[in-house]
Amino acid sequence: MLLASFIGSFGAVFLKLGSQHLSRGIRGALNWQLAAGIALFLGSSVPFIIALKHGELSVLYPMVSLGYVWTMVWSRILFKEPVTGAKVGALALILAGITCIGLGGR
């Protein structure tokens, strides 16, 4: 599940990069960054499906939200987006929720 969320977070990064070309009309919509973002999102489904085969949906699906944690890191590094106290607090709540659900699955 960690791998799926990691791959999916890169999908978001490439969608962001590709969206910068959308002002060019339909030709801008057909760019390699958007294609890579879509491919990464689809590719993240493979480890997700494998995890679902071996685990509980109610435990594993909330772990998809780890993608938000990874995306925050990439946004800061690649796009210089600010990391505010509210964002850190929200990520802490996500991690706490995942921890509680994961422990409850045992």
- 34-89 pLDDT tens trace: 999 999 999 999 999 999 999 888 888 888 889 999 999 999 999 999 999 999 99
* Dist CA 78 CA 100 (whole Å): 31
pLDDT value at residue 45 = 94
* Dist CA 97 CA 86 (whole Å): 16
Count of structural domains, the chain: 1
Q: What is the DSSP letter of 44?
A: T
pLDDT value at residue 24 = 66
pLDDT value at residue 80 = 96
State whether the Cα torsion 36-44-2-9 is positive or negative. Answer: positive
Range of the domain at 46: 2-104
* Dist CA 52 CA 68 (whole Å): 20
pLDDT value at residue 1 = 86
pLDDT value at residue 16 = 93
3-state secondary structure of 47: helix
pLDDT value at residue 20 = 84
pLDDT tens track for 9-43: 999 999 999 888 887 667 667 889 999 999 999 99
Task: Tell me the C-alpha to C-alpha distance, in Å, between residue 103 and each of 48, 86, 88, 106.
Answer: 19, 26, 22, 6
